[in-house]
Amino acid sequence: MTQERVVVTGLGTLNAAAGSVADFRRALLGGVCGIGPVTVFDTDEFRTHTGGQVNGFDPRRSIPKPLSIKRMSRSDQLAMAAALEALADAGLWPMPEALRHDTGVIIGGGAGGMLACEAEYDHWLKGDRQPVYSRFAAFCCASSADHIATQLALMGPKTTFMTACSSGATAIGFARDMIQSGQAPLMICGGTEPLCRITYAAFNALQAVDPEFCKPFDQHRLGMSLGEGAGILILEALSHARRRGARILAEVLGYGVSCDAHHMTAPDPQAGGAVLCIRAALEDAGVTAGQVDYINAHGTATPANDAMESRAIREVFGERAGVVPVSSTKSMTGHTLGAAGAIEAVASVLAIAHEFLPPTVHLHTPDPACDLNHVIGRARRADVKVVLSNSFAFGGNNTALILGKFTEKGIGHA
């Protein structure tokens, strides 16, 4: 039986570089970096003070009434705002009543409502007031999917993934599976993540954070820049998208997952899990390494990760490893952890739809251990038909997405 093809019909994002998809496209084309001072909490006691913060976000403007922002954490609000933008982009907002019964929600996350919980706990420690325990309901990272599904009255499959920095990508892959298995014709999927003290403290303690801004693949890189944001994609069965005359932005050709089985925080220096993941994604998509036009790298700017990922790319792509363009958009958004794979999927779809290669900014002296074809500084124009988007997370939780330009014949398995 021929499997249903799965297409992307809508995008939504808020991140440090942009407050909308249109702004994000302009930022990617211009190599605009959104990394700067963190102000959502006091950073005086930390060794670093910068990150990829979403500035100027007004949840009441982005989430109009009658939708409620009551008991929604910053992470929930970012996810809801991005979901509404994606639905509008797909021509599905206001949501048609007939679609609500079968539409599903799959969201990747990490810290969830931790920022709000930290504030409540801080007030309690200072004796300012008794904590309002109902506010802790937003602590769970699953609350973002819950709010989207409940407030939009969506009754299809709903779940949340926590696979660390690959959560958003894993959510997209699983949403594609839900459509292909006939569980739902339409899925809202992606990831969301807030900046919060506990995450910021943890990465500072690991000394994995650059005090200025991250420099992926650079010989003088010092670590990542933590970020926040949300990325949401609307996925549909091709037959469903055609029936309603939807505009198709790209196709989800396949994905792969694997585990390093190596270490809780350090990647496998031999890149065994990453290689398995990329090869599984290519096989699932029905494309070869020779067909990939662009790699949106995980590219965290930590010494170990960038070297490992470069090794994986050389292993899979062979002689093409120095030819296929590679970039890390984390250099502009910061590392948004649970949202990273989803925001990078949005960037990848924009690259396909608008025919350009996003750059890596702050890359001035490429590390010899990362000898790839880096897109540096500003975007390049290119006909992008197939994109590999990598997400390699703590615990060796690896996910690779293959996204492609939609054609009637199909690039992969048609």
DSSP H/E element including 352: helix 340-354
155 lies in which domain range? 6-243
Task: Read off the tokens for 408.
Answer: 């009637």
Residues composing the chain: 414
pLDDT value at position 130? 65
Give the chain's largest Cα–Cα span: 65
Q: Is position 248 within any domain? A: no
Residues 226 and 362 in one domain: no
Same-domain pairing of 66 and 93: yes
Q: Are 165 and 391 in contact (CB under 8 A)?
A: yes
Please name the helix (run of DSSP H) or strand (run of DSSP E) that holds residue 68, with its range, or none: none
233 with 181, same domain: the answer is yes
Tell me if 281 is assigned to some domain. yes
Of all residues in the chain, the percent with pLDDT exceeding 70 is: 97
| Catalytic residue chosen out of the listed positions 240, 298, 362, 374 | 298
Q: Is the pLDDT of residue 127 over 80?
A: no
Shared-domain flag, residues 37 and 163:
yes
3-state SS class at 78 = helix
Q: What integer pLDDT is reported at residue 136 of this predicted model?
A: 64
pLDDT for residue 296 is more than 60: yes
- Catalytically annotated residue among 33, 117, 165, 370: 165
Residue 99 lies in a domain: yes
pLDDT band with cut points at 50, 70 and 90 for residue 135: low
Is residue 249, in this structure, part of any structural domain at all?
no
Out of 209, 243, 277, a domain closes at 243
- Whether residues 30 and 118 share a domain: the answer is yes
CATH of the domain at 119: 3.40.47.10
pLDDT of residue 414: 47
In a domain, 414, yes or no: no
Whether 354 is a known active-site residue: answer no
Q: Residue 313: in which H helix or E strand, if any? A: helix 303-317
Judgement on whether residues 398 and 366 belong to the same structural domain of the protein? yes
Last residue of a domain, one of 243, 277, 294: 243
Taking alpha carbons only, the member of 187, 405, 164, 107 closest to residue 298 is 164
Which of the two residues, 55 and 131, has the higher pLDDT score? 55
215: amino acid identity, one letter: K
In a domain, 412, yes or no: no
Residues 289 and 314 in one domain: yes
Annotated active-site residue 259? The verdict is no
The answer as to whether 1 is a domain residue is: no
Predicted confidence band at 117 (pLDDT cuts at 50, 70, 90)? confident
Measure the CA–CA gap between 174 and 26, rounded to whole angstroms.
29
> Which residue, 329, 317, 258, is CA-closest to 293?
317
313: left (phi over 0), alpha (psi -120 to 50) or beta: alpha
DSSP for 162-174 reads --GGGHHHHHHHH
CA atoms of 27 and 188, how far apart (whole Å): 24
The predicted pLDDT at position 134 comes to 63
68-109 pLDDT, tens digit each = 998 899 999 999 999 999 999 999 999 999 999 999 999 999
Q: 45 and 82 share a domain?
A: yes
Residue 388 forms part of a structural domain: yes
**What is the mean pLDDT of the segment spanning 131-151?**
80
pLDDT tens figures, 34-52 = 999 999 999 999 999 999 9
Sign of CA dihedral 317, 377, 224, 382: negative
Q: Which two tokens stand for residue 117?
A: 């919980």
Concatenating the DSSP letter of every residue in 115-183 gives HHHHHHHHHHHHTSS---GGGGGGGSTTHHHHHHHHHTT--S-EEEE--GGGHHHHHHHHHHHHHHTTS
**Which of 199, 215, 243 is the C-terminal boundary of a domain?**
243
Centre a 10 Å sphere on the Cβ of residue 302 and count the other Cβ atoms it contains.
25
- Whether the CA torsion 144, 149, 150, 156 is positive or negative: it is negative
Name the strand (E) or helix (H) holding 8: strand 6-15
Q: How far apart are CA 166 and CA 323, in angstroms?
A: 26
Distance CA 334, CA 53 (A): 8
Helices 340-354 and 167-180: angle between axes, nearest 10 degrees: 70
**Residue 66, preceding bond cis, omega within 30 degrees?**
yes
* 155 and 270 part of one domain: no
Q: Which has the higher per-residue pLDDT, 26 or 127? A: 26
Is there a single domain that holds both residue 176 and residue 215? yes
Res 213 pLDDT > 70: yes
Residues 275 and 198 in one domain: no
Same domain? 321 vs 228 = no
Tokens of 39: 């102000």
Give the pLDDT confidence of 351-409 residue by residue, as tens digits: 999 999 999 999 999 999 999 999 999 999 999 999 999 999 999 999 999 999 999 99
Q: At what angle do helices 197-205 and 114-126 cross, to 10 degrees?
A: 100
**Can you tell me the mean pLDDT for 340-344?**
98
298 is catalytic: yes
The overall average pLDDT reported for the chain is: 95
Dig out the tokens for 318 from the structure: 């062979």
Q: Between β-strands 380-381 and 186-193, what pairing exists: parallel, antiparallel or unpaired?
A: unpaired
Number of domains in the chain: 2
DSSP-derived letter for residue 52 is B
